[in-house]
Copies of this chain bind each other. A is one copy, B any other.
Amino acid sequence: MSVRETLAGSPDVRRTNLAVLLRHLHLDGAMRRAELTDRSGLTRSTVAGLVGELGRLGAVEQTAASTTSTAGTPTRGRPSPVVRPCPLGVQVLAAEVRVDQVEVALVGLGGTVLHRDSRPLPDPSPEPTADLVARSVADLAHAAPGRVLGLGVAVPGVTRHRDGAVRFAPNLSWRDVSFGRMLSDRLPGTDVRVVNDGDAGVLAEHLRGVARGCDDVVFVEGEVGVGSGVVVDGKPLVGAGGYAGELGHIAVAGLGGRRCRCGSDGCWETEIGLDAVARALGLGPDASRRAVVDALRTAGDEEVRRLEPVARHLGAGLATVVNIFNPSLVVLGGLLRELYPCVAAEVRRTMVRGALAAPVEQVRLALPELGDDAVLLGAAEAVWQRVLLDPVAALGG
């Protein structure tokens, strides 16, 4: 008899067990109650009781099992009902602030995107941005079919873990913006969590994307700047204040590099960000993201040759990442999804040359499975993670 089972009747253990079951359902979707029993190591009757409680909280539903298994063969004995998360029962709001637009979504339990909207951000200064985010998510919340448990917002900046203050977002020109409080003021009663965009991206890819099952993952997203997030031993890298994992400002070009918006020289983001790619392609400094993506998708030999310096800086930064984190997977998101396939050989050559042999032979480079949704889904997960810690408290059961 397991420790967990022995105390299944005590209120604390019951809450913990509810959380365990809900986590399985949120991350892996519908499954037979028998499988939940196997995974949790609890007894059948305990699981039946807990699933009933999650049903009363509106989080899951059970459907009578058919007498054939999912593989179509007849099952033996009494068939086990199928339990599934209820995306229409409980939801969270998610937002992603980009340099020129705001993405918002209503995400149901299980990670289902129920609604999604993209709005242009003509003025990215803090007050108008907070207004636009608050207005957009309020519209979604108004139309939500179930209970809305909170709002997760991803921003392209250095964000304090404790209160969601954005300490520095060079590409929005923000410095010390109490963005979490600004949103809470506009959305009374809503639990707001503000997170770094790279941290959101790695969380989503780790829980639901290409990095599933990998314990040591680095996510690098190239846009105007370079966002990044790291999972170490299965957990997000946070640091003393929540600022860890900022890879955009590692030095890759030495003292001769370009001046970065952070004040230093030769940072990774000045050498592989949107401007650097546009410059390499000869598109001029004001090229839109759209134009750069189109040029990358249609790149021929001449363009690939012109991208070589960018590829080398991407590889050099990856070498540092590999030496420091010894990750099993590096996920290349944002603009790098388009750039990397063009110049993969040169990137890998530079990375292998610059990194130590032992860690570089363990690393795989991959594109995000969630595509452009990684950051938005990760912002939602920042709220779900809190809900899953104690579903009874979050759902008011």
Contacts and interface: CB of A to CB of B under 8 A. Distances in A.
Interface in A152-185: 158, 160, 167-168
A40 interface: no
6 contacts: A232-B237, A233-B235, A237-B325, A238-B326, A241-B362, A249-B323
Nearest to A242: B326
Contacts of A238: 233, 326
Interface of A: 3, 6-7, 12-13, 158, 160, 167-168, 215-216, 232-233, 235, 237-247, 249-257, 262-264, 266, 316, 319-320, 323-328, 353-359, 362-363
Given A158-B358, A254-B251, A324 B324 contact: yes
Contact of A357 (B3, B167, B240, B359): B167
Contacts of A253: 254-255
Given A237-B232, A251-B254, A358 B7 contact: no
A264 B319 CA distance: 10
A7 B235 CA distance: 30
A262 to B, nearest CB: 6
A263 B360 CA distance: 14
Which 9 residue pairs spanning A and B have beta carbons closest together?
A254-B254, A239-B326, A167-B358, A244-B326, A240-B328, A243-B326, A243-B359, A264-B354, A246-B323
A244 B325 contact: yes
Contacts of A358: 158, 160, 167-168, 241, 243
Nearest to A359: B243
Contact of A316 (B216, B251, B327, B353): B251
Contact of A245 (B233, B243, B324, B362): B324
Given A6-B7, A254-B253, A256-B254, A239 B356 contact: no
Nearest to A319: B264
Nearest to A321: B324
A216 B243 CA distance: 12
A239 B320 contact: no
Contact of A263 (B6, B241, B353): B353
Contacts of A354: 251, 264
Given A244-B325, A320-B320, 5 more contacts: A160-B358, A232-B233, A246-B359, A256-B256, A262-B356
Q: A243, A249, A257 — which one has the most chain B CB atoms within 10 A of its CB?
A: A243
A239 B264 contact: no
Given A232-B232, A239-B325, A239-B326, A251 B252 contact: yes
B266 A254 contact: yes
B327 A249 contact: no
A359 B3 contact: no
B232 A356 contact: no
